[in-house]
Structure 1
Amino acid sequence: MNEKPVIVDNLKWAYAPGEGVPLWVWLAVAIVLAAAGAGAFLWLRGRKLAAAAASPELTAHERALEALRRLHAWLSEEREMDFIIEISRILRVYIQDRFELRAPHRSTEEFLEEARDSEALSPEHRELLGDFLRQCDLVKFARRSAALQKMEALFATAERFVRDTTPQSQEKSTSAAV
């Protein structure tokens, strides 16, 4: 077991130090990596497109009603601020998606002014929406309390607004699916 290490004196480098790897090798590696990256990108994009085609996209009112259904669990006075912020956001996103009125990132007054100039909403719906958003603003910004009864009324108003403004063709297909 007293073996001495073997010393090899005649090793030769594939390339002498300082000589480097030829340019064609670097180009070949770069081409292979670029092709692999492009292939992976196309494969992932194809899977995403196939998944999107397989599951039909929900309409604006279906997304809003689903969000409202999930929000209903938040109906408690302990979560009043969260509830009011979220119900306002749901309705604003619905309005943007359904009527193409920019609601989510505008103040209530800016949005209502745009809604008045638009023919997308009926006068009745504009009034309902204005009352709803002002009530939400009182809780969010004026820090007024919203009792459970008030929160339930806001929820019913939001749900009614979405159902009332659902396009007739989508309404029939939704009720047929249920």
Structure 2
Amino acid sequence: MTGFAALLLFFIVLVPGLTARATGPQARYSPSPSSVKLHDIKDVIPLPAPFPWGYWLGGGLLLLLGLALAFWIIKRRKKEKSMPSAGEQALAALDSAGSLMDRTQSRAFAVKVAEVLRTYIEKRFQLFRPGLTTREFLQALTRQPETKITPLLEHDTLLREWLNHCDMAKFAHYPLTHEDMEQMLAQVREFIETTAEPDTPEKGRQEG
């Protein structure tokens, strides 16, 4: 067989088969442009927002500060309520002076009563005058606004008498009789009870 005959046979026998294999399956399964459906582009899917840690931490801190402040205020009010008033302190101190009601201890009695009186007046009327003599202390009282010391002015004469008697017993060793001490103790007690701070409605409910 000549070369020409072999080439002719190749084109007649083999080429149609290769062409059919190359085009047959693809031609059957390749979609036509008219059969392709195009879908719309979907919206962008939003990402979840980050957790607001800063707001939560700030809110928690403010809450803790508020609770701490409320606790401090309540504790302070309880402490103030538990503290005895100037009048209560003075009456308790005056009771201890009763054990000194003896002629031999008249000077100690006078020192105690004078201390109770001055301490009570300073605390009750906010007239802090430490280190003054009795005369200087009484003069300092007269220089205060009248509205501030009105209860004191009502007992001015007795107050001067008590403090002068105490000075005489302390510095001049003037002996006080038992009757003098009893009378002074009763009058000073009445003075403190009369001029003490009035009870507030809240305090009255607590005591009731």
Aligned residue number for residue 115 of structure 1: 141
User: Counterparts of 2:132 and 2:105 in 1: how far apart (Å)?
Assistant: 24
Name the CA shift for 1:103/1:158 in 2 (closer, same or farther; >3 Å).
farther
Deviations 1:131-161 (A, max 9, x none): 1101111111122111111111111121111
Amino acid at match of 1:63: Q
Contact 1:92-1:104 at 8 Å conserved across structures: no
**Any stretches of 5+ residues in structure 2 without a counterpart?**
1-74
Cα 1:85/1:59, change in 2 over 3 Å: same
Q: Aligned equivalents of 1:171 and 1:133: distance in 2?
A: 34
Moved over 4 A (4+): 170-174
The structure-2 alpha-carbon separation of the partners of 1:56 and 1:172, relative to structure 1 and needing over 3 Å to count, comes to: closer
Residue in 1 that maps onto 2:197: 167
Aligned to 2:128: 102
Query: Could you tell me the percent identity over the aligned residues?
Result: 27
The two structures, once aligned, show a CA RMSD in angstroms of 2.9
Q: State the partner residue of 1:140.
A: 170
**Structure ranking higher on relative contact order (CA contacts 8 Å, 6+ apart):** 2
Cα gap change, 1:69 to 1:172, in 2 (>3 Å): farther
1: distance between equivalents of 2:100 and 2:202?
Answer: 29
Once residues 140 and 172 of structure 1 are traced to their aligned partners in structure 2, the CA distance between those partners, rounded to angstroms, is 42
Partner of 2:112: 86
Distance 2:193 2:201 in 1: 8
Opposite residue 116 of structure 2, the aligned amino acid is: I
AA at the equivalent of 1:143: H
Distance in 1 separating the partners of 2:119 and 2:202: 22
Q: Does 1:125 align with 2:155?
A: yes
Q: What CA distance in whole angstroms lies between the structure 2 residues aligned with 1:139 and 1:153?
A: 15
Match of 2:187 in 1: 157
Matched residue, 2:42: none
Q: Which residue of structure 1 lines up, in the alignment, with residue 94 of structure 2?
A: 68
- The equivalent residue for 1:34 is none
Contact 1:88 1:136 in 2 (8 A): yes
Contact 2:93-2:116 within 8 A present in 1 as well: yes
Unaligned runs of 5+ in 1: 1-48
* 1:104 Cα offset (Å): 4.5
Q: Which residue of 1 aligns with 2:26?
A: none
**Inter-CA distance 104–85: structure 2 relative to 1 (3 Å threshold):** farther
Aligned residues: 129
TM-score (norm 2): 0.54
